Structure 1
Amino acid sequence: MTVRVVGKVVTPTGIIRQGCVELDGERISAVAEYPSIRDGHWIVPGFVDMHTHGGGGHTFTTGDADAARGAAAFHLAHGTTSLLASLVSSPYELIRDATQAYAPLVKEGVLAGVHYEGPYLSAARCGAQNPEFLRDPSLDELSELLALGGGTVRMVTLAPELPGALAAIELLVSRRVVAALGHTDATYEETTAGVLAGATVATHLFNGMRGPHHREPGPVFALLGSPNVVCELIADGVHLHQGSLAFAAGVTGADRAALITDAMAAAGMPDGEYELGGQPVVVTDGTVRLATSDSSPGAIAGSTLTMDAALRQAVAAGISMVDACRMAATTPARTIGLGDRVGALMPGWRADLVELDDDLNVTRVMRAGEWVE
């Protein structure tokens, strides 16, 4: 039986104001005009979050499969129909166990894969990453983890200036794993070397990296200027000023910008005390920071963002609805190797979509042709 979802349909190339998405089972069969519709809701592709540590009181960082299901369900309710479970810098044993625990969830489709944010990061730019677990890249360790995952690992963030980093990037690319540059104190030249070695993602651009200077441009300019690099942007109004968000998206274009949440367990939860990667964090007015022994503010430690809120921030920053949806779905899906299946409302692709009201709040979410309870 053909099912139709009608409204203002956002495609990668434009908006069909009187539109219809036709479904055949879990696939989209057609996207077309539907002249009888008037003033319908927005129909946008299901969001793809390539960088999130948890949400709804649940975390991905401990390797607990039940917690991972809970976090994925929380973000699904906010329109994220595909996501990577992001780990943080941890002992080898935890990363190994989490990878093995999440492999069945990837096969089941609960997760789109696993992202290692660390442990091969700069101590000078570790932010909320636990410095106790930082180390130089190890080809043996990486090879063992990738083999254990059997395709579970989709992306690894590392600092290109570390000893062995370029060889690690080449190994990742040879195994069809996305290499991302982040938490780095690299120079412009060191960053460019990482890109030439095969890195294709900038992990939360501006955050966790040396700041730009006109005589010492550092990683930000190198990543913005690299035509093969997709720049992650945390559009929560905390990590990035709206002007910085608009500037970065204007430089890269929607095909090289990916909205992410970088969310942790406190997303959707009350302010209070939480944990991230073995370190205590405090959420105040929705902003997450490392706990400190005095009244000084600690480093920003992830976010409480959801992808629907990120979309609203992007549109409020002056980014068009079409481009914001590409940044929230199409570009991240392509970046992590899902671009032939999800991330856009196109015939033959999985029927993942989000219905939004005129204020861009979620009213309904569909995944694989079924409305989410």
Structure 2
Amino acid sequence: MTLRVNGKVVTPTGVIRQGCVEIDGDRIRAVAEYPSVRDGHWIVPGFVDMHTHGGGGHTFTTGDPDAARQAAAFHLRHGTTTLLASLVSSPYELMRAATVAFAPLVREGVLAGLHFEGPYLATARCGAQNPEHLRDPSTAELTELIRLGDGAVRMVTLAPERAGALEAIRLLTGERVVAAIGHTDAGHEQTRAAIAAGASVGTHLFNGMRPVHHREPGPVVALLAAPNVVCELIPDGVHLHDGMLTFATSVAGPERTALVTDAMAAAGMPDGGYELGGQAVTVADGVARLDRDGAIAGSTLTMDAALRHAVAAGIALPDACRMAATTPARAIGLGDRVGALRAGLRADLVVLDDDLNVLRVMRGGTWLD
């Protein structure tokens, strides 16, 4: 039986203002103009968040599968139909345990994979990462995690200036795991070398990176300039000034910039005390900061709020939708399955009102009610 969802349909090529998404089972059968539609809601692709640590009071960072299931359910209610569970810098034992615990959730489809943000990061740019756990990349550790995950490990963020980083990047890309550059004090040429080795994502561009200087462009310029690199952007008005958000988007284009939340457990929760990777965090006025030094500790963002913020900053809705779904899906190797309203892809969509608030969410052809 074919299900039809009518409205203003946002596709990878633009908006069909009198449109219809036809769904057969869990797949999109067709996207077409439907002249009888009048003033429908916005129909946009289900969001793809390639960088989130938790939400709704639940975290991915402890490796608890029940907490992971609850965090994924929280973000699903906000339109995120595909996400990576991001961990923070941890001892290897926790990385291993989390891989074993989350792999069944990946097979079940609750998670799209794991993202290890660290521990192979620069101490000078650790941000909210626990400096006690930072260390040089280990190909032995990575090889074991990839084996244990059996396809669950999808992305690893590392600093290219650390000893062994280029070898680790080559290992990851050879195993079809995305190598991302982040929390780095690398220079321009070091970053370019990492990109040449196969790194294809810039983790929350600008944040946790050596800043741009006119005599040493650093990692930001190298990542923005590389045609094969997707740059994550956190559009919450805290991590990035809106001018930097729109500047980066204008340089790399929506096909190479991805909106991410970098959310932690406090997303959707009241202000107060929380933790991230074993470190105390206080959320005040919706902004999460470490107690020890005031560093920004992830965000309280959701992807629907990220979309609204990007559009309010001046990014056109079709471009913002591409940045919230199509580009991140491609960046993590899932562009042939999800991330766009296109025939043959999984039927993931979000119905928004004219203020871009979520009205309904569909995942795999089934409405979330």
2:171 maps to 171
Q: What amino acid does structure 2 have at the position aligned with 1:101?
A: A
Paired with 1:25 and 1:142, the residues of 2 have a C-alpha distance of 38
Paired with 1:217 and 1:247, the residues of 2 have a C-alpha distance of 16
2:60 maps to 60
Instruction: Report the RMSD for the aligned CA atoms in angstroms.
Output: 0.6
Q: TM-score with structure 2 length normalisation?
A: 0.99
Q: What amino acid does structure 2 have at the position aligned with 1:198?
A: G
Are 1:312 and 2:312 matched, yes or no?
A: no
Task: Map 1:174-213 onto structure 2 (within 5 A).
Answer: 174-213=174-213
Paired with 2:30 and 2:193, the residues of 1 have a C-alpha distance of 44
Q: What amino acid does structure 2 have at the position aligned with 1:279?
A: Q
Task: Map 1:38-77 onto structure 2 (within 5 A).
Answer: 38-77=38-77
2:247 maps to 247
Paired with 2:334 and 2:107, the residues of 1 have a C-alpha distance of 14
Deviations 1:79-115 (A, max 9, x none): 0000000000000000000010000000000000000
Task: Map 1:87-166 onto structure 2 (within 5 A).
Answer: 87-166=87-166
1:344 maps to 340
Deviations 1:302-338 (A, max 9, x none): 0000000110111111111111010000000011011
1:218 maps to 218
Paired with 1:343 and 1:73, the residues of 2 have a C-alpha distance of 18
Task: Map 1:253-268 onto structure 2 (within 5 A).
Answer: 253-268=253-268
The unaligned stretches of length 5 or more in structure 2 are none
Paired with 2:222 and 2:342, the residues of 1 have a C-alpha distance of 33
Deviations 1:90-144 (A, max 9, x none): 0000000001000000000000000000000000000000001000011111111
1:365 maps to 361
Paired with 1:158 and 1:316, the residues of 2 have a C-alpha distance of 32
Paired with 2:302 and 2:22, the residues of 1 have a C-alpha distance of 27
Deviations 1:168-188 (A, max 9, x none): 000000000000000000000
Equivalent position to 2:324, from 328, 335, 357: 328
2:20 maps to 20
Measure how far apart 1:340 and its partner are.
0.5
Moved over 2 A (4+): none
Q: What amino acid does structure 2 have at the position aligned with 1:221?
A: V
Q: What amino acid does structure 1 have at the position aligned with 2:308?
A: R
Deviations 1:255-298 (A, max 9, x none): 10000000000000000000000100000000000013xxxx61
Q: TM-score with structure 1 length normalisation?
A: 0.98
Paired with 1:337 and 1:219, the residues of 2 have a C-alpha distance of 23
Paired with 1:217 and 1:341, the residues of 2 have a C-alpha distance of 36
Q: What amino acid does structure 2 have at the position aligned with 1:133?
A: H
Paired with 2:290 and 2:101, the residues of 1 have a C-alpha distance of 27
Measure how far apart 1:162 and its partner are.
0.3
Paired with 2:364 and 2:148, the residues of 1 have a C-alpha distance of 28
1:354 maps to 350
1:90 is paired with a residue of what secondary structure? coil
Are 1:234 and 2:234 matched, yes or no?
A: yes
